[in-house]
Structure 1
Amino acid sequence: MEWYDYYLFGLAAALVFNRLYFTTLDPRAASLAAFATFGVGFVARPLGAVLFGSIGDRVGRRPALILSVALIGVATACMGVLPDFTAIGIAAPVFLVLLRLVQGVAVGGEWSGAMTIAVEHAPPEHRSRLASLVQLSSPVATLLSSGAFTLVLMLPPESFDAWGWRLPFLAALPMLGVAVFMRIRIDESPEFREVAREGARTRVPFAAVFRRAPGRLGIAILISMLGVGGFYFMNTFLVNFGANERGFDRQLMVNATLVAAVVQAGVTLWSGRLAERFGPGRVTLWGGLATAVVAFPVFWLVDSQQPAAAVLAVCLGLSAVILAYGTAGSALAGLFPTELRYSGVSLGYNLAAVVGGFLPLAAQASLGASGGASWGPAALFALFGLATALGGALAHRVSRSPDA
């Protein structure tokens, strides 16, 4: 549910917010403004990492997860009733930014908490495989969010703009009830209970991460660059690029993300199995290199302006990203001791998000510099792949040398 809420904003930034909340700008500038608003949520994520990491490492994994999902559900539902620019003027984008900030704070503790509690419940020999199951929340959320937009895009354009796009956001409320019920029933992590019983909890966990494990935090940031930036690059920027720059129908580009989500689920499970055999750091390395290799072909396919090629492009690019992302959770969790794990994973993942979240904005800006040519966004995509490949190589080395 958390990713469903977060992904909705990405799709709406590409298809709705640029037209209804930034209406005084020309189309390309409006897309830049919408993607900047999208990126604002990532700036707030380190704050969420500090807040929820402290709760998770001091109070418990379960309370942090209950609070994070409640916060994002309420913020997303409020977006569904937010008046647009024609109704309240400049207040509309201002409130949109504020709600996006709340989303960012909530997500700052969500993924890391879910991954931490899953890893700590798993047998050591199956941690990579079971950690990849947490990553299935991403394609499932993509199917739900893209599927919701696919349905409302069937409405007449005037109905879609007036109220149809709001329905997927309002669906967050009933989903919130289910999510909170499920999380209340989760058992606390046995490893956290052991740390609490021994009195080994750290007073200020996030500060201890910087003091005791700065090198490992740097590796965690590199590992997370592609999973954060690359995913939104494909599901947000490429949707906008295909629809607004290359003339594809909006429905086709959204449908492409649905097809890619099915492929993503398979690659996610495969990456977990590979990580059990070869190590999560090594598989992360492979995923980063694969992304760098396919970055330019992805855009060549979209530039061909053939519908089937556009769908293939989204599937190809997202598969490479997910090869790295699918095993990122176990790679990150293995970098930090139990008493710092929630904070360490949160900080690494969400500091990377500050950069990665603005990748769609940077890619959109690069189109202006290149006169609309696709080489700029492709180069940025490849660069993020190489950064994560380096992180994977370093994580593999650290895992083989625990004292490094």
Structure 2
Amino acid sequence: MSEQNTTAAAEFNATTELSIKDANKVAAGALIGTALEWYDFFLFSAAAALIFNVQYFTNENATAAALASFATFGVGLAARPIGGLIFGRMGDKLGRRRVLLITIIGIGVVTGLIGLLPTYAAIGFAAPALLVLLRILQGLFVGGEWSGAMTLVVENAPLHLRARYAAIPQIGSPIGTILSSGGFFIMTLVFSQDNFNSFGWRIPFLIALPLLIVAVYLRSRLEESPVFRQLEESGEVEKSPISTTLRDSWKQVIVGMAAALLGVGGFYLVTAFCVWYGVNILGYDDSLLLLGSMVAAFVEIFVLIWGGALGAKYGASKVVLWGGVASALVSVPAFLLFVTGQPVLIILAMTLAVGTLSLPYAASGTVMTGLFPANTRYTGVGMSQNAAGMLSGFIPLLATGFVASAGDHWWPAAAMLAFLSLFTAFAGIIAPKLSVDLPGFKH
């Protein structure tokens, strides 16, 4: 029996006695953590479009300032693969639960520090330099957070329900969007534009600190994955998870990255880029676009639940495939609605685009965890997700550049969304051929 078949057998044995009650408890704890993770991360996304280009990157050219701000946004995502390697290795050697406590504390503390950071006007070039440093640290911790939460949830769920439970940590993304966009939206209503730019934007960042206390309390009560405990008891914990993954599962890493790319990169395109494009090029009010982000995120929650149910019934890879196709088909209509200038149609455009790309996002966690054996899963999932995250971080930057070169027309952004959609759809075709064979698990 091959080593991969051995670990698959150990995983099957470890999951046969899992109960729905235990799975629900772990999924709820992971959801709280991922919601805080994405709240912190999307705060930076919104601030990059609305604040950092003004307060930390001074330039008379609005597009140049936006490029610098989005580049800082991208730098944090570029740090994610390094964090994924560091914490993925720890998670495969020491356990999922311990590492998830470290990552959530790091994310919360860094976000609070961003809220306290002086601006360019106060300390000069040190301000953007420190902002970049904090963004890199945030990216490192986020690099180990999502993959660990997804791995822990999947390994605590009955095999036949993994797709349904794997969609639950994904709901942290729209919840984080609602909280972050909602925080900025409320600040724009409470404060004048000058006061918002001066100090109002800092409040949502500082709120991350009390939220962190709640998240740490809930995370500390989670049990370790029974799959990892089985690996420990049988002496099959991988000693070199990084080298083993690169040697034996490099194809899986590429396919997993492709499966995740639309859900991450497409989302940044529809939110971070469209917020900047709407405010600075089309002259829309920033509160309208923040409201659009919140409505789209609210609808996304239900799409993710639906996508998880579809994955459990028909197979996660099929959801990735057809969800990607659907997203490609709506890319141009969504942007046509977005540029109409009509508030209802603008919000509908953002909701339509986010809703369709959320279908493959709902199933991407199931696909990725199914690509790797248990003894290297944390590392492999982290490599896949963070490679997608690194590429996605530069999508608002690329979209800004392409649209500027096209005379500020929207079509290059729509073409990017369609390309990302089809790239992810292709992963849905390839993934079943490379996945770990687990009885009762639908790929």
Q: TM-score, normalised by structure 2?
A: 0.89
Report the Cα distance in structure 1 between the residues aligned to 2:67 and 2:176, rounded to whole angstroms: 25
Amino acid at match of 1:318: V
Q: Please, which of 351, 360, 370 is the counterpart of residue 334 of structure 1?
A: 370
1:132-171 aligned within 5 A: 132-154=167-189, 155-171=191-207
Q: How many residues align?
A: 402
Unaligned runs of 5+ in 1: none
- Residue 393, structure 1, aligned to residue 432, structure 2: no
Report the Cα distance in structure 1 between the residues aligned to 2:434 and 2:90, rounded to whole angstroms: 27
Report the Cα distance in structure 2 between the residues aligned to 1:93 and 1:287, rounded to whole angstroms: 39
Report the Cα distance in structure 2 between the residues aligned to 1:399 and 1:193, rounded to whole angstroms: 22
Identity over aligned residues, as a percent?
Answer: 44
| Residue of structure 2 in register with 1:268 after alignment | 304
Report the Cα distance in structure 1 between the residues aligned to 2:307 and 2:436, rounded to whole angstroms: 20
Output the aligned Cα RMSD: 1.2
| Residue of structure 1 in register with 2:101 after alignment | 66
| Residue of structure 1 in register with 2:398 after alignment | 362
Amino acid at match of 2:125: I
- Residue 221, structure 1, aligned to residue 230, structure 2: no
Secondary structure of 1:83 counterpart: coil
Q: Please, which of 33, 47, 53 is the counterpart of residue 12 of structure 1?
A: 47
Q: Please, which of 382, 389, 392 is the counterpart of residue 418 of structure 2?
A: 382
Report the Cα distance in structure 2 between the residues aligned to 1:265 and 1:145, rounded to whole angstroms: 15
Q: Deviations over 1:291-336 (max 9, x none)?
A: 1111111111112111111101100110111011011111110111
Q: Please, which of 154, 160, 179 is the counterpart of residue 215 of structure 2?
A: 179
- Residue 401 of structure 1 and its aligned partner are, at CA, apart by 7.3
Unaligned runs of 5+ in 2: 1-35, 439-443
Q: Deviations over 1:39-96 (max 9, x none)?
A: 0011100011101101110000001100001111111001001011111111111111
Q: Please, which of 123, 127, 136 is the counterpart of residue 101 of structure 1?
A: 136
Report the Cα distance in structure 1 between the residues aligned to 2:434 and 2:78, rounded to whole angstroms: 29
Asked if 2 retains the 8 angstrom alpha-carbon contact of 1:128 and 1:327, the reply is yes
Secondary structure of 1:129 counterpart: helix
- Residue 25 of structure 1 and its aligned partner are, at CA, apart by 4.0
Report the Cα distance in structure 2 between the residues aligned to 1:398 and 1:205, rounded to whole angstroms: 18
Asked if 2 retains the 8 angstrom alpha-carbon contact of 1:246 and 1:302, the reply is no
- Residue 48, structure 1, aligned to residue 113, structure 2: no
| Residue of structure 2 in register with 1:88 after alignment | 123
Asked if 1 retains the 8 angstrom alpha-carbon contact of 2:300 and 2:354, the reply is yes
Report the Cα distance in structure 2 between the residues aligned to 1:15 and 1:318, rounded to whole angstroms: 20
Secondary structure of 2:116 counterpart: coil
Q: Please, which of 152, 177, 189 is the counterpart of residue 225 of structure 2?
A: 189
Asked if 1 retains the 8 angstrom alpha-carbon contact of 2:262 and 2:421, the reply is yes
Secondary structure of 1:153 counterpart: helix
Report the Cα distance in structure 2 between the residues aligned to 1:212 and 1:400, rounded to whole angstroms: 12
Report the Cα distance in structure 1 between the residues aligned to 2:157 and 2:200, rounded to whole angstroms: 42
| Residue of structure 2 in register with 1:24 after alignment | 59
Report the Cα distance in structure 2 between the residues aligned to 1:381 and 1:75, rounded to whole angstroms: 31
Amino acid at match of 1:388: T
Q: TM-score, normalised by structure 1?
A: 0.98
Asked if 1 retains the 8 angstrom alpha-carbon contact of 2:372 and 2:436, the reply is no
1:29-40 aligned within 5 A: 29-40=64-75
Q: Deviations over 1:154-212 (max 9, x none)?
A: 11111111110000000111111111111111000000000011111111212111101
